[in-house]
Structures are given as C-alpha cells and as structure tokens.
Amino acid sequence: MTFLSTRSARAGVAVALAAPLSLGTVAFAAAAAEGDPDTIAPDTTLNRITVPASGWISGVTPFSITATDTGGSGVASVSYRIDGGAAVTLPGAASGQVFLSEGEHIVEYWSTDAAGNVDQPASATFRIDASFPRITYGNPPQLAQGSMVALDFACEDDLSGIASCESDLPVGAPVPTDTLGWHEISITATDVAGHSSHAPYVYQVVPADTAPPSVTISVAPEPASGWYTSYLGIAFDAADPSGIGSLHWASDGAVSANGDAVGESSLGWDHTFEGVTEFRAWAFDKLGNRSADVTRTVRLDTVAPAVTLPAAAEFEQGEEVELALDCTDATSGVAECGIVGSPSLLLDTTQVGPAQVAAYAVDRAGHRTEVVYEYTVTAPDPVEQPGEQPNEQPGEQPGEEPSEEPNEPAPAAPVEGSGDGASGGPATDRADSLATTGPDLLTGMIAAAGLLIGGALASLLRRIPERH
C-alpha cells in the first residue's frame, strides 16, 4: 500500500493518508471524518525470557513481538530483522514465536498502524550458549610407579567461555604415582552460561618401565649383489608396552633428510634415490626411555651401464687387434666388460670380409648392456724378396736372352802317355790330371764370379729409379 504524508495546518503534525481507501483504514476514515486523524505511532514490545546477569542464555529460547495502537486506527503489522538481514513483516498486532540458533544475535523490531504511522525501530541482543564446556588432558593414561609427572589439563568453551575450572589438584601439580592401580583426579568445568561438565582424569600406575622401545627398519629382502634394481618401500616401526611417545629417523648419502613423528609408532614411504643411503631410526616410549639407534644401508641402481666403441675400421688378415672398449656405470660400478664368447678383447681376423662382434658390460647391480661392433678384414699386400726378378733364370743378365743349349763342360784332353787298355801309376795319373785341369778350373771359377757380380749389379740397377 502506498502512503502519502501530509501535515495538518491546524494541528501542525504529520498525517499519513491512505490512498486508495480500504477496509483496513475504516477507523482512520471515521476519525478523519470526525476531524481527529490518527497521528500516533503504535507501541511495539519484544517478549523474551529474563536475561541472566551473565548476559548469556543457557538454552535456545524463542521471542515474539506484540504491538498496541493508542491513536485509534489499530495495528496493521509487526516487523523484525535478525543480524541485519531482510525484514520480516507479519500482519496483525502480534507475531508467532521465533527461535534463534546458538551464538550472539541482534534483533531489530517495529510495528505499523492502519494510519501508516511506524514505530521507531528498537533492538535487543541475544547471547545463546546451549553447549557444555570441554575438559582435555595432556597426561598419558599410564604412569610408571614413582615417576614425576605434572598434572596437565585444560577447560575449554567455544561460546560463552569458561567461568571456572576446578580440580582436586591444580594444573602443574605432581600426579600421585606411589601406589599401583587405578586412580582418579576430579575436574569440573563451568561456562559463563552456567553449564557444568565433570570429566575426571583417570590413570593407572604401573610398575616402572626402564626398558627402551624396540625399533625396526623394514625393506624388501636384499639381492645377492647387495644392490636393489627398482624403487622399494621403506618403513620405520617402534613398539613398547607403555606406548610410543615419538619416532625419529634420519638419512645420509644419496639423500640427506630427517623426520620426527610425535605419538606415532610407524612411518613409511617409497625410496627412489639412486646410490647408497644410510638410514637411522630411534624412538622414545611414553615414559621417556630411548631406544638405541637402528641403521640400515640401502643400495639402489636402476640404470644399466654404458658401452662406448671405437669407429668401424679395416684390419689386415692375420693382424692381432685388441678392441678398445670403454665401459662405465655411474652408480654401482662396472663388474664385467668384454666381448661375448671371447675370453680376451682380440678381434677375429682369420677370414677376409666384413665381420662383427658383440661387446657387453655388466654392472654390480646385475644390469647388462650389449652393443655390436662392425669391422672389415682385408687380404695382406704381396711382399717382394730382395734381388729376385720374376721369370728370370739365375745367372742371366737383365735383358739377356737365355742360351738355347745348356752349358756343358768341354771334353777333357787326352792324357799323354795313356794307351789302349794301359794305365799309368798313381803318381803319374795325379800329376797329369793336375797339369790338365788346373788352368781350366781356375778359368771356370773366375767366370762364375763374374756372373754373380753381374747379376747383383743388374738387380741393383733395376731397383734404382730413373731420374729425369
């Protein structure tokens, strides 16, 4: 409905006129007809329970709104807004019950009469805490007999806050541990809204534990080579009858790191660092006993070795050639480097033609790499003997035609004094023979020496190149 505001010249007050006129404004119309318009705003009241001195209500309670009008036109509606939200308007002079959630809220409220007069908005603050406070403990449930442990607890409340936190012993006082068995320390927490919680600290005194916790480092079974060839999981575990207070670990080598886990008894992850890593772990139980350090060495190599070969080459048949291999491995190192099927690095050069061998390398982790080396075997070059000339007879001069008849010794001259069937004495025969053959033998020896010297000179001349 749209209201128009006007001011009466006689009364000097603002008058709200309704246009158009409706049944809801009959009283206003009647008053206007009599000359007494309704210019008085209605009175609005918020109905709620009495707020405690603390300002906090201990439960979720409703509120309602009622309004009265003394101007005569009557209450048309009541309205309210919660925490600055959208206004809610209800027809009539009263609202139903409205419930609020836990927490702090601001409610604004007002009313409007049939003449259009609006009450000045008022506000009210609601603080509601329907929850109970909490009590938490920092002490373990088991304590060793005779141990010195300070009582550690806290009282907490999220809404109204803690009004009191009472205990048989104050925070920080020694917990009695002289007597074995179960014991109880009474603790009560009360919040500002009046809620109280009672949660005693219940603990057990056990015989003193002086034994350290046990700690293990778990990995997959180690290979015979001592080197793992794929990523593996590693776990740290601790155990103790009194419970584990904290677990600690550190590593050096391929990776340097450390970690601490309070209240944890087990940790684990995947190990992916190549090389040698030394792990160390230790733990404390809840009574403060420390374990000895436990160590484990993990060797990880997931990469095969490399084999480097020389360039392809040619080798002469029968030549002794050793293949120059270069085998490397960055992590575990090279265990073997050679030629497949050969105890040495010598190449086979017995057969002329293309050839190949397989070279290989094996690292200490067991990875193997093979590569093929290709080479060629060639026939050897012919070698000439000094002084020889192809297709020449010994004793011939270079360029000289061979004689058609073989050299035959000249017939011996008749020996003087010999007759048919007669023979001289031995002395006479030797003298005659020497007299006959002596000059001829000397002449033959001189001729043979000349032939040898001539052949040597001819051979030398053939080896001396012509000069131009």
The answer to whether residue 452 sits within a structural domain is no
The answer to whether residue 447 sits within a structural domain is no
The answer to whether residue 107 sits within a structural domain is yes
144 and 83 within one domain: no
DSSP codes of every residue in 192-248: TTS-EEE--EEEEEE----PPPEEEEE-SPPPTTS-B-S-EEEEEEEE-TT-EEEEE
Which range (167-181, 234-248, 342-356, 453-467) has the least confidence?
A: 453-467
The residue behind tokens 């084999």 is 307
Which of 251, 248, 250, 249 lies closest to 263 in space, CA to CA?
248
121 and 9 within one domain: yes
Q: In the structure, how many helices (H) and strands (E) does the chain have?
A: 2, 30
The answer to whether residue 267 sits within a structural domain is yes
What is the domain count for the chain?
A: 4
What pLDDT is attached to residue 413?
Answer: 43
What pLDDT is attached to residue 445?
Answer: 52
Single-letter residue type at 95:
S
Which range (130-139, 293-302, 327-336, 452-461) has the least confidence?
A: 452-461
Indicate if the pLDDT at residue 426 is higher than 50. Answer: no
Burial label for 460, CB within 10 Å (0-12, 13-18, 19+), is exposed
**What range does the domain containing 93 cover?**
3-128
260 and 241 within one domain: yes
153 and 76 within one domain: no
For 347, the token pair is 């190449």
DSSP codes of every residue in 327-394: EE-SSS-EEEEEETTBSSSB---SSSEEEEEEEEEEETTS-EEEEEEEEEEEPPPP-PPTT--TT--T
For 433, the token pair is 């023979």
pTM: 0.43
Q: What percent of the chain has pLDDT over 90?
A: 66
221 and 177 within one domain: no
Q: For the chain, what is the mean pLDDT?
A: 81
Q: Which of 156, 174, 206 is the last residue of a domain?
A: 206
124 and 7 within one domain: yes
Q: Which of 99, 128, 157 is the last residue of a domain?
A: 128
The answer to whether residue 220 sits within a structural domain is yes
CATH number for the domain that contains residue 252: 2.60.40.10
- Summarize pLDDT for 146-169 with one digit per residue, the tens: 888 999 999 999 999 999 999 999
282 and 244 within one domain: yes
269 and 355 within one domain: no
The answer to whether residue 408 sits within a structural domain is no
Burial label for 442, CB within 10 Å (0-12, 13-18, 19+), is exposed
122 and 85 within one domain: yes
CB contact set of 176 (below 8 Å; sequence gap of 6+): 183
DSSP codes of every residue in 95-146: ---EE--SEEEEEEEEEEETT--BPPPEEEEEEE--SPPEEEE-S-SEEETT
Task: Specify the DSSP class assigned to residue 458.
Answer: H
- Summarize pLDDT for 248-260 with one digit per residue, the tens: 999 999 999 999 9
59 to each of 102, 105, 132, 197, 380, how far by Cα in Å? 8, 14, 11, 16, 113
CB contact set of 381 (below 8 Å; sequence gap of 6+): none
Indicate if the pLDDT at residue 322 is higher than 50. Answer: yes
d(CA 58, CA 46): 19
The answer to whether residue 393 sits within a structural domain is no
169 and 96 within one domain: no
- Summarize pLDDT for 136-145 with one digit per residue, the tens: 999 889 888 8
The answer to whether residue 437 sits within a structural domain is no
Q: In this structure, what is the dihedral angle of CA atoms 141, 145, 148, 154, given to the nearest 10 degrees?
A: 20
Q: Which of 151, 176, 206 is the last residue of a domain?
A: 206
pLDDT mean over 332-343: 93
91 and 33 within one domain: yes
155 and 50 within one domain: no
